[in-house]
Amino acid sequence: MSKNIVLKKGLDIPVSGAADLVVSKSMNPSCIAVLPDGIKGLLPRLLVKEGDRVLCGSPVIADKKNPDILLTAPVSGIVKEVVRGEKRKLLAVLIEAEDAIECVHFDTSDVKTALLQSGLWPLIVQRPYGTMADPATSPKGIFVSAFNTAPLAADTEFTLGSEVQAVQRGIDALATLAPVHVSLDGSRKDSAFAKLTGCTLHYFQGKHPAGNVGVQISHISPIQKGETVWTVSLAGLAAIGKLFAKGTYDIRRKVAVCGPAALNTSYVDVLPGTPMKSFISFWGGDATDLRIISGDLLSGIAVGPDGYLGRDAEQVTIIREGYEKELLGWIRPLRYKQFSQDRSYFSWLFPCRKYDMDTNLHGGPRPFLMNDNYYSRVLPMDIYPVFLAKACLAGDIEKMEKFGIYEVLPEDLALCEFVDPSKNYIQDIIAQGIDLMLKEMA
Amino acid sequence: MNKIFEKGGKFYWLHSTVDAFETFLHVPGTVTRKGAHVRDAIDLKRILILVVIAAAPAALFGMWNVGYQHGLAMGREGIHILEYFWFGFLRVLPLYLVSYIVGLGIEFASSQIRGEEVSEGYLVSGFFIPLIVPVDIPLWMLAIAVAFAVIFGKEVFGGTGMNIWNPALLTRAFLFFSYPNYMSGSECWIAFKKGETAVADAFTGATPLALDGASAQYGTGFWDLFIGTVPGSVGETSVIAILLGACLLLWTGIASWKIMCGSIAGALLVGWIGQVAGITDIPCYMQLIYGGFAFGTVFMATDPVTSCQTETGKWIYGLLIGMLCITVRLFNPGYAEGMMLAILLMNTFAPLIDHCVTGAHISRRAKKFKTA
C-alpha cells in the first residue's frame, strides 16, 4: 500500500441535506439533451438536424477544430429540437427517446479510436487549464479521484462500488495511453476500489478539497510548464469501462439529489442530459426562490428547473435563494443559524451541527483585505492563493505561471471563495486567468 | 434601495452613502451570482468590529487615565473611577467626533466618486486615531492630519485594502512632523482645562520614555506601566488592557501571532544587547511595556492590509519592527518613541519582504519540479 497522504488544510462545509444511501427512482425521461456547453475548448458543429433519427452512440456534435472529437446521443430516438442561444450559440440538442434503446456497437480494438468514436473522449479533461483532452498529446499521467469530498457529494462507494469491474476495464484501456493514478479515500479501509490493478493507487485523507483531483495531482506529481496530464471522473472511467466491456455507449449513473431545500434526499439512476423537470418531486413543484444546481454547492452550475443535468454532474443540489435581509446581522454576537469557519462566530462550538444554508452572499464585495493565510488554510496545495488571484486580476502572465496557474482549476480554489470575507468571486478570477493563458499560449 | 438612489435616479450621487447605511443596518439580500453558491457568514464588517471591540478596553482605560493624570497634576489623590472616566470621556469624545466625521466624510465621498460601496475600513482606523494622539491635541490639527492620512495614505491608492501605510499611524506621523511641539516634550500628554496649570512647577507630564531616568510624580515602576497609570497617548498606556484585546485578536485569528511574537522577540533582543553593551540600564523586558510598543505591536503592526502577506514574511516583518523600535529608543534621545516610525518603515518594506519570500518559494518549487 502506498503512502497515506494526510492533508491538514481544508474545510468540510457542514450543510444539511445529505442524500440517503438508497436509489429512490430510475428515470427514463421522454426527452434527453446533448450539451456541448461546459466542455472547455469544444467548438461545436452540429451533425444532425431536427427530425433525424439517431441511435445511442450516434454522433450529434463534432468539434470544429478536431472533427474526430464527437458528442454522441445517449439514447436512440428522433432529434426533436436544436436549442440555440444568443448569437446562435448551440446550447443543446434535444432527442426524443424511444422506449427500446437501440445502440451503435463500436469496434474497441484501438482505444483512442473507440473513445473518440463513441463520444466518450470529451470525458477526459486535460490540465493545465481544464480543457477537453487533445488526442494528439501524450500526457505524463491520467489521474482519477475515486472519492468526493465536496459538500453533500455522492458517495462513490455507493454509486460505483458495484461497478468496480467496469472501472477496472476502464483503467486497463486508459493504461495503454498513459500511466493511470487512482486516488482513494485513506480513511476508508474497506474501499471497493482498493483492489484495482494496472494503476498506481494513492491514499488521501482530509477535509475538502482532498477529493479534488487537482489537489491530489499537486501532491503526486505537480504539473509544470510544458507538461500535460489528463483527468477522468470515476463515473467517466466506469462509462469507458462499459464501452470496452460491452462495445456500447452507456453513461447511465447514480446521481445524488441533495441539499437543504431538497425533499426526499436520495440517489436516482439517471442519464446526464436529463431535464431537471424530471426531478420535480424533489422540490415539490414550486421552484420560486430555489436554486437548482447541477453539481455541488461550490462549483456546480445553477441550471434552474428548466435546465438539464450536466455531463459530469454526480449530484443535484437544491438550495434556497437567500433574498432575505438580516437586520444587524453582522453585529449580532451569536447568529446561531449561520455557519462560519471564522472564530468570530461560534460555529466551532458545534462541530457536528449541520446548517440549513442559503445562497446569501452575507456581505458586500470588497477588495482583498485579509492575509494570504486566511485563504491558504483551506487550500492544501503549495501555492499562494491570494497572490495567484491578484496575478490573474492583473493579467500578469509571468506571475500567474510562477504562482501556479498550471496546477489549478477554479474548483480547487472554491473553498477560498467560500471563506472570503471580502466576497470576491475567486473561481471566476481564476477562470479569467486561465482564459487569458489559453489566449496567450495559443 | 429606493429608486431615486439608483443609477439614473435624482439622488444617485448619494447612493454609496445610502447603501452604506443600509448595509450597516442589515446584511443585504444579495445572493451569489456564480462560483460558490453558498458563502461563509463572515464579512469584513464583522472582522473590523471585532478589532474595535478588542481595542475597547484600551480606549476605556485611556479615558479614565486622562482624568486620573489630570487629577494627579492637580494634586489630587485616589482613583475616582466614574469622575475621572467622565472627565476623560468628555476630553476624548471630541477627538472621536473629529476623527470619524472627517475620515468617514472623505471615505464616503471617494467611494461615491469611484462608484463603489463604502468600505468599512475606516471604522477601525477612526477608532485608533484618538487612541494614539495626545489628548490635548488641537482639533483642527487632528482634522488636517486625518484628512491627509485618508486622502494621501489610502484613497489615492484605491481605498481600503489597497493602502501601503497604516492610516492611523500616518495621521500620527503627519502630526509628529508638522506640529512637533504638540507631539513631544512634557506638555502635551496631560489634559488641562483652560487656565489651569500643574500645582507644582516641577511637575512633569512627560511619558516615562522621555524622562530619561528623571523622577516623576507618578510611578514608573513595572506595575504602573503594566496597568497604565502613566501619561501618554490616550490608549497606549495600559498594557493589561491591550493584552485583553490581543487575546481576542489572536483567538479569532484576525491578528497574526507571528507578527506579535516577532516584534516582541526583536524588541527583547535589541533591548538585551543595549543592556549588555551598557547603552541603557533599562532591563529589556521593560521596553515591552514602555510607550506605544504594546499598542503598536498588537493593533498597528498586525493590520492585515499593510503587514506582510506571507507567513515567513510575518516573522521577518515583526522582528524588524521590534528591533527598529528599540534601536530608535536607545540611540535617539531627542525623541524616544520609535514604534510609529518602525511600523511605518516596515509597512513600506512589507511588499519587498513578500516579494523575496514568494521568490524563494517559487525557486523552491522550481527545484522540486526538477527533482520530481
Give the phi and the psi of residue A368 in degrees, each rounded to 5: -55, 130
Interchain contact A357–B (C-beta under 8 A) = yes
pLDDT given at position A248? 94
CA–CA distance, A180 with A142 (Å, rounded to integer): 5
Query: And the C-alpha cell for B160?
Result: 481600503
Q: What is the pLDDT of residues B275-295, one digit of tens each?
A: 999 888 888 888 888 888 999
Is the model more confident about B197 or about A93?
A93
C-alpha closest to that of A421 among B157, B161, B246: B161
How big is chain B by its Cα radius of gyration, in Å? Answer: 22
Query: And the C-alpha cell for B187?
Result: 506638555
Mean pLDDT, rounded, for B190-198: 63
- In chain B, residues with a C-beta closer than 8 Å to the C-beta of A374 are 253, 304
- In chain A, residues with a C-beta closer than 8 Å to the C-beta of B369 are 222, 224
Interchain contact A424–B (C-beta under 8 A) = no
pLDDT beyond 90 at B209: no
Please spell the DSSP secondary structure of A197-240, one letter per residue: -SSEEEEEEESTTTT-HHHHHHHHS---TT--EEEEEHHHHHHH
Lowest mean pLDDT among A81-95, B91-105, B187-201, B261-275: B187-201
- In chain B, residues with a C-beta closer than 8 Å to the C-beta of A427 are 34-36
- In chain A, residues with a C-beta closer than 8 Å to the C-beta of B368 are 222, 382
Strand order in the sheet with A180-185: A4-7, A200-206, A180-185, A142-145, A229-233, A125-127, A131-132
- Determine, for residues B161 and A368 on separate chains, whether the beta-carbon distance falls below 8 Å: yes
Mean pLDDT, rounded, for B65-88: 88
Nearest to B29 among A224, A323, A384 (CB): A323
Residue A430: C-alpha distances to residues A129, A191, A414 (Å) = 10, 34, 10
- Determine, for residues A425 and B35 on separate chains, whether the beta-carbon distance falls below 8 Å: yes
pLDDT given at position B199? 53
Q: Which of A321, A353, A362 to mutate to test the interface with B (most CBs of B within 10 A)?
A: A362
pLDDT given at position B222? 83
Q: What is the pLDDT of residues B222-240, one digit of tens each?
A: 888 888 888 888 888 899 9
Q: Which amino acid is at B284?
A: C
B185: exposed, middle or buried (C-beta count within 10 Å: 0-12, 13-18, 19+)?
Answer: middle
β-partners of residue A316 are: A257, A294
One-letter-per-residue 3-state SS of A239-282: HHHHHHHHCCCCCCEEEEEECCCCCCCEEEEECCCCEHHHHHHH
**With bands split at pLDDT 50, 70 and 90, how would you rate the model's confidence at B184?**
low
β-partners of residue A266 are: A257
- Determine, for residues A364 and B159 on separate chains, whether the beta-carbon distance falls below 8 Å: no
- In chain B, residues with a C-beta closer than 8 Å to the C-beta of A140 are none
% of chain B beyond a pLDDT of 90: 50
pLDDT beyond 70 at B344: yes
Nearest to A329 among B27, B159, B311 (CB): B27
Nearest to B309 among A322, A345, A371 (CB): A371
CA–CA distance, B121 with B125 (Å, rounded to integer): 7
pLDDT beyond 60 at B213: no
- Determine, for residues A317 and B162 on separate chains, whether the beta-carbon distance falls below 8 Å: no
Cα distance between the two ends of chain A: 41
Question: Residue B285 belongs to what H/E stretch?
Answer: helix B284-287
Residue A198 CB coordination number (10 Å): 15
Q: Tell me the average pLDDT of chain B.
A: 86
- Determine, for residues A427 and B23 on separate chains, whether the beta-carbon distance falls below 8 Å: no
Instruction: Residue window 63-122, chain A: list those with CB within 8 Å of chain B.
Output: none
- Determine, for residues A319 and B309 on separate chains, whether the beta-carbon distance falls below 8 Å: no
Instruction: Residue window 138-197, chain A: list those with CB within 8 Å of chain B.
Output: 151
pLDDT given at position A2? 67
- Determine, for residues A370 and B28 on separate chains, whether the beta-carbon distance falls below 8 Å: no
Is the model more confident about B255 or about B20?
B255
CA–CA distance, A266 with A278 (Å, rounded to integer): 14
Instruction: Please give, rounded to a whole number of angstroms, the shortest distance from the CA of B40 to a CA of chain A.
Output: 5
- The sign of the dihedral angle between the CA atoms of B205, B135, B245, B299 is negative
- In chain B, residues with a C-beta closer than 8 Å to the C-beta of A324 are 29
**With bands split at pLDDT 50, 70 and 90, how would you rate the model's confidence at B52?**
very high
Lowest mean pLDDT among B162-171, B196-205, B312-321: B196-205
Interchain contact A422–B (C-beta under 8 A) = yes
Which pLDDT tens digits describe chain A residue by residue (442 residues)?
Answer: 567 899 999 999 999 999 999 999 999 999 999 999 889 999 999 999 999 999 999 999 999 999 999 999 999 999 999 999 999 999 999 999 998 889 999 999 999 999 999 999 999 999 999 999 999 999 999 999 999 999 999 999 999 999 999 999 999 999 999 999 999 999 988 899 999 999 999 999 999 999 999 999 999 999 888 899 999 999 999 999 999 999 999 999 999 999 999 999 999 999 999 999 999 999 988 888 999 999 999 999 999 999 999 999 999 999 999 888 888 777 777 788 889 998 888 999 999 999 999 999 888 888 899 989 999 999 999 999 999 999 999 999 999 999 999 999 999 999 999 999 999 999 999 999 999 999 988 7
**With bands split at pLDDT 50, 70 and 90, how would you rate the model's confidence at B198?**
low
pLDDT beyond 70 at B22: yes
pLDDT beyond 80 at B54: yes
Claim: this prediction has a pTM higher than 0.90? yes
Strand order in the sheet with A315-320: A23-26, A266-270, A253-258, A315-320, A290-294, A301-302
C-alpha closest to that of B344 among B177, B169, B174, B193: B169
- Determine, for residues A344 and B46 on separate chains, whether the beta-carbon distance falls below 8 Å: yes
